[in-house]
Structure 1
Amino acid sequence: MNIKENFKMAIDSIFANKMRSFLTMLGIIIGIAAVIAILAVGNGATSEITGTFDDLGASTISVTLSEEATSQDAFTDEDIKALKAAIPAITHISPDKTIGASVESEFDKRTALALSGTPDMQYTNQTMDSSLVYGRYFNQTDYQDAKNVAVVSEDTAKALFNDRTNVVGESLQLSGDAGNSIRLQIVGVVKGTFEQLQGSFDLSQIPVYLALPLTTMEKLNSSVVTMDSLTVQVADKEAIESASNQMVRLLETRHDALGKDYYTATNFLQALDQVNSVLSLFVNFIAAVAAIALLVGGIGVMNIMLVSVTERTREIGTRKALGATTGTILMQFLMEAVILSLIGGIIGLILGILLANGIAGALNIVPSVTLSAIVLVLVFSTAVGVFFGIYPARKAAKLDPIEALRYE
């Protein structure tokens, strides 16, 4: 008997007992659907996070000062100039200081996050957008002369100036925790970031953002402007490791701190690798748990196939009496088990994709179903059919034809 005839007999047997066949496949369907949905949503979440890191700047390095270091080891303007001059890969570098404050216009008063640094902060700052909508960013002259200037986001402008966004030339009063305050003139407005939060958050409760020179911030509170962190952007991702190592070595040399581990350079690629590792571990663990359903499904296939062998004992005896070989009987029942598993795998694959799209839609991410995952599902389904179908098939093939014909 050839493969075509075995296939036809297997299909006839499956459709002769539709409900039993469906219940046999149910474990495989659930297992495959769960695994596919988890992998698709997990891969989609990973891609989303990777994209977020790219948006933040995958070529960004954070250089920090350890707690063991003293104020003498803090970064200086001379350090920044030396780093930029010695390492060509560096495109932008700025201290990163943020304080909580309150800011007041003639129209309103709001809680604020005041960000300060050098003019390069326009590109290194990950909190405010770098795209100017109106005016300019504060420049080197503003920084050197500690001018009372500030750049605000469109959201801040709307919140403080009755929904107006072009507020260049307007003034703000910035007050710190110690009660000190300074009057700032707005010289630029950058693109806002709060629009996407509408409907989910009360925007009146979210702090507004403004950026000003670090030297100007010192007028408000001199104790907060010690440079203990730098944000650095390099030309491309390929230069990130080399630039990180060079910066640490140069800073240790300048501050006579060789071997003291006072300076640490961390880049977003390292953070991304850590996030991806954790995500992959979590997704694979959940997928492994879901795969237990496949084991249950495989046992169900074996169980039903054993029942089928028992029910068809006389049929097997008749076929063997008419000349069917042991190999023919083996292939017949093995193919039936494989087809059951494969059909269950295909149904599970379809349901898994639908489930993944539903979950991903709720989470506002794009699911990722790879070709390798689809191939793996089909191969695994076939393997389940072979593994759990081999014992019932062998039992059917080894039946003695005379005893089988006597079976009632």
Structure 2
Amino acid sequence: MADYLKSAFRSLTRKRVRTSLTILGIAIGVSSVIIVGNISRCGTTALSTELESLGLSGLTISVSQDAGSISLNETDLNLIKRCDQVEQAAPIVVQSTDVTARKIRTKAIVWGIDTKASQIISINLLYGRLFNNEDIRDGANVCLVDEAFSKSTYLRSNIIGKTVTILCGGVEDNYKVVGIIKTGSGLLQNVIGNYIPTFVYVPYTTVQKASGKDNFDQIAVKIKSGGNVDRIGQTIVDKLDRNNGSAGAFVSNNLAKQKDSLTNMLDIITLILSAVGSVSLLVASLSIMTVMLVSVNERTREIGIKKAIGAKRSSIMLEFMFEAILISFIGCILGLVSGYLISYIGANYFGVALNIRVDVVLPVMGFSILSGTIFGIYPAYKASNLKPVDALRQE
């Protein structure tokens, strides 16, 4: 075994440029598959975290478009809280508007929430406090802003006590910042921060007072562990319809399914990109056959001499097989290293955790070495079948 490896190394160093280009092709193919796999894992993880942080992991109750004058109110909220398998419910009032700080106007979505919302929506408090009962009771002009908004306006994370102007209900008013939050991993803001609005949270009673309405846009519901979200959602809708004397006026949205649909779409895209990467790896493996065939033609006299002094067909074949496997192995290792190096640089830039994926590494290594072996069989077989007399006649 050691002799075959030494012989393979010596043979590969004879034509360094040709060997290096073949190894580079394998490395590029492997690294592309690794990078795509890591993008998939990081993207899926970050997307799930972001959507969960926005409340897209539970259940929301809203009014259908054909409900007429029916709306969600305090009576409906209390009814939902009394339902079996409901752990918590919170009202939500939403407005798309503008927020101004230091004369910088930003598109924003204002979420009117109560003190229980943090138990349903994953809000990571960095500085300050969340809303208290007094804020909700008085409809106070206080707000929570995310860290990205703080950095874009004041160039720092902590802006507790600062004042921002929010256009709510057609009227601009000043709101005191009492809390700084960080939603999810921040990946969406890093990547498409210029295209998505800022999220600002205020007491829902404040939004109602400013807009002159007493109903809710949605009610967010947290289901007890182990509960069937779809079945419980339908039960809630049926109770609300009976209580309001309506039919089909309310809609239950299982947001976890929407999140799953997005992650499944990402998985499909990843599969397509991985297939493209695998094709490039296959093409690079084909170059091994070309290189080995050229090597057989160049070393015909050498093969003839070895066979003339007693070298077996199996020895000649194994020698060329080891060369092909060695090219694949070196290219595979370089591809893995470069693929993970690029992946780690990208993950650090976007602030996403990255772990080595054994489920990707092992198949890629296996495919790379196997393809090198397969495409090295024919040149090795051709070399082992050369007749000593014919080989020695070659110039």
Q: Sort the Cα spacing of 1:247 and 1:403 in 2 relative to 1 into closer, same or farther, 3 A.
A: same
- The corresponding residue for 1:392 is 379
Which residue does the alignment assign to 2:253? 265
Question: Relative to structure 1, is the Cα distance of residues 371 and 101 closer, same or farther in structure 2, using a 3 angstrom cutoff?
Answer: closer
Change (3 A) 1:330 1:350: same
Is it true that 1:232 corresponds to 2:230 in the alignment? Answer: no
Q: Distance in 1 between matches of 2:246 and 2:109?
A: 33
Q: Secondary structure at the match of 1:86?
A: coil
Cα drift, residue 307 of structure 1: 0.7
Tell me which amino acid in the other structure corresponds to 2:66. Answer: E
1:402 equivalent in alignment to 2:392: no
Match of 2:211 among 221, 232, 242: 221
Q: Is the partner of 1:98 in helix, strand or coil?
A: strand
Alignment match of 1:338 (pick from 325, 341, 361): 325
The match for 2:307 is: 320
**Which has more radius of gyration?**
1
Is 2:239 the partner of 1:250?
yes
Q: Which runs of structure 2 are paired with 1:7-406 in the superposition (5 Å)?
A: 7-57=5-55, 59-72=57-70, 74-98=71-95, 100=97, 115-116=111-112, 119-121=115-117, 123-124=119-120, 133=129, 136-138=132-134, 142=137, 147-153=138-144, 165=160, 176-177=168-169, 189-192=178-181, 209=200, 211-214=202-205, 217-222=207-212, 225-236=214-225, 240-255=229-244, 260=248, 262-267=250-255, 269-406=256-393
RMSD (Å) for aligned C-alpha atoms: 4.4
Cα distance change of structure 1 residues 103 and 84 upon mapping to structure 2, 3 Å threshold = same
Measure the CA separation in 2 of the matches of 1:183 and 1:366: 38
Q: Which moved more, 1:298-307 or 1:279-288?
A: 279-288
Distance 2:320 2:104 in 1: 79
Q: How many residues align?
A: 382
- In 2, distance between residues paired with 1:120 and 1:192? 16
Change in 2 beyond 3 A, CA 1:254/1:321: farther
1:46 partner letter: T
Residue 262 to residue 82, structure 1, CA distance change in 2 (3 Å): closer
Which string of whole-angstrom CA distances, capped at 9 and with x for unpartnered residues, describes residues 184-203 of structure 1? 9x8x9334569x99999x9x
Quote the sequence identity (%): 24
TM-score normalised by structure 2 residue count? 0.78
Runs of at least 5 residues in structure 2 that lack an aligned partner in the other structure: none
Query: Cα gap change, 1:261/1:10 in structure 2, threshold over 3 Å: closer, same or farther?
Result: farther
C-alpha contact (below 8 Å) 1:59/1:237 kept by paired residues: no
Secondary structure of 2:273's aligned partner:
helix
1:76/1:225 Cα in 2 relative to 1: closer, same or farther (>3 Å)? closer
CA distance in structure 2 between the partners assigned to 1:26 and 1:33 by the alignment: 10
Q: Which amino acid aligns with 2:329?
A: L
CA separation of 1:33 and 1:324: change in aligned 2, threshold 3 A: same
Amino acid at match of 1:211: V
- Give the Cα–Cα distance (whole angstroms) in 2 for the partners of residues 53 and 125 of structure 1: 10
Letter in 2 for 1:137: N
Tell me, in whole angstroms, the C-alpha distance in 2 between the residues paired with 1:234 and 1:264. 13
Residues 62, 72 of structure 2: 8 Å contact kept: no
TM-score for both structures, normalised by structure 1 = 0.76
Distance 1:266 1:131 in 2: 32
What amino acid does structure 2 have at the position aligned with 1:393? A
Separation (CA, whole Å) in 1 of partners of 2:22 and 2:100: 67
Return closer, same or farther for 1:69/1:369 CA change in 2, 3 Å cut-off: same
State the AA in 1 paired with 2:343.
A
Residue type of the partner of 2:275? A
* 1:81–1:303 distance in 2 versus 1, CA, 3 Å: same
Structure 1 Cα separation of the partners of residues 342 and 131 of structure 2:
49
Q: Which range moved further: 94-103 or 240-249?
A: 94-103
CA distance in 2, matches of 1:166, 1:283: 45
Q: Does the residue aligned with 2:233 lie in a helix, a strand or coil?
A: helix
Over residues 144-180 of structure 1, what are the superposed CA-to-partner deviations in whole Å (9 max), with x where a residue is unaligned?
A: xxx44344237899x9xxx98469xx9x99875556x
Higher mean C-alpha deviation, range 299-308 or range 89-98: 89-98
Contact map agreement 1:41 1:368 (CA 8 A) in 2: no
CA-to-partner distance for each residue in 1:69-95, whole Å, 9 max, x for gaps?
Answer: 3223x3232222122112233223223
Query: Which sections of structure 1, spanning at least 5 residues, go unmatched?
Result: none
Could you tell me which amino acid in structure 1 is paired with residue 72 of structure 2? F
Contact 2:307/2:388, CA 8 A, preserved across alignment:
yes
Conserved 8 A contact 1:41-1:359: no
CA contact (8 A) 1:252 1:263 kept: no
- Shift in Å, 1:385: 0.7
